[in-house]
Structure 1
Amino acid sequence: MYILEEALACLAYGVLGMVLMALGYLLVDLLTPGKLHALIWTDKNPNATLVLAANTLGVALVVATAVYTSTGSLAEGLTLTCVYGVIGLLLMGLSFVAIDLLTPGKLGAVVTHADLQPAAWINASAHVAVALVVAAAIS
């Protein structure tokens, strides 16, 4: 019975992680002009791809840390993982807005630019950095 319980817990955490990553996708889509799906899969936009990849990795870092440090019941672990994941997403979105306000130009326009832009790297690294801070706060 132990193996079945652990397998179901793994499945539950995996599904929650995928839901949080999907929310991250929606967040990046909301913060960038145009449709993220078209920017990445149709236009092959490197900036949008970089920012979304960093966001996805950031969410995974937060979720993995929350899962790794979880103690107690499965329900408690899933709840805390969800809360930490949402906090991470909100802070990543806030970092996008803060960078946009503190730098010249509009970050959304930079992210949708056809050529790889240095500002996209700054934004992407901010997503990962925020996720690392949230992950450190969890542990």
Structure 2
Amino acid sequence: MTTTLALSATFGSDLLRGIGAILLYGVVGLVLMVVGFYAIDLATPGQLSKLVTRGLPNAVIVTASGLLSMAFIVVVAIYNSASDLAGGLISSLVYGLLGVIVQVFAVRLLEWVTRIDVGSTIESETFAPASMVVAAAHLGLGLVVAVSIS
């Protein structure tokens, strides 16, 4: 007895569509992450990229948590719109951009309420515990914004 493995007639086109979707969502995700980084950089005192390059620990913590929170937003925006490719790409981009804006304003508001001097915190050459509060605010608010997309 012989068993034959047969692929469906649409296997090739389905595979190509899936590859295309991955590439397109990857581009949308990358664009949103870059926009998110620059939004965090713009809203944070000092130039984060230079502070991170210098290896300042608090700048690294705040930037990493900000990027991770942006990733939450982007992932949920893509996940919730993946059933229709064209509509999914557009809604991911729109929800992702809106999420970035809400995230930046919410974190700045929380920093204002807690009275943390973010500028001096991220420019410090030594670890400042306040950077963990800012990081937690980024992560927590990123999750809140991400879930609100769903």
Q: TM-score range by the shorter chain?
A: 0.7 to 0.9
Percent identity over paired residues: 36
CA distance in 1, matches of 2:59, 2:107: 13
RMSD of the alignment, in Å? 1.7
2:47 corresponds, among 35, 42, 63, to: 35
Extract structure 1 runs of 4+ deviating beyond 6 A: none
Q: Structure 2: which 5+ runs fail to align?
A: 1-12
Q: TM-score, normalised by structure 2?
A: 0.82
Partner of 1:33, secondary structure, is coil
More helix by share: 1
Change in Cα spacing, 1:105 to 1:121, as seen in structure 2 (3 Å) is: closer
Displacement of 1:90 in angstroms is 1.3
CA distance in 1, matches of 2:44, 2:76: 28
Number of aligned positions between the proteins: 138
Indicate whether 1:96 and 2:107 are aligned.
yes
Displacement of 1:17 in angstroms is 0.8
Match runs of 1:79-94 below 5 Å:
79-94=90-105
Residue 25 of structure 2: aligned partner: 13
Larger radius of gyration: 2
Residue 109 of structure 1: aligned partner: 120
Residue 78 of structure 1: aligned partner: 89
Change in Cα spacing, 1:130 to 1:36, as seen in structure 2 (3 Å) is: same
Q: Deviations over 1:47-98 (max 9, x none)?
A: 1111111111111111211222225421211111112211221122113321
Q: TM-score, normalised by structure 1?
A: 0.88
Q: Structure 1: which 5+ runs fail to align?
A: none
Change in Cα spacing, 1:127 to 1:13, as seen in structure 2 (3 Å) is: same
Residue pair 2:103, 2:145 contacting (<8 A) in 1 also? no
Displacement of 1:13 in angstroms is 0.8
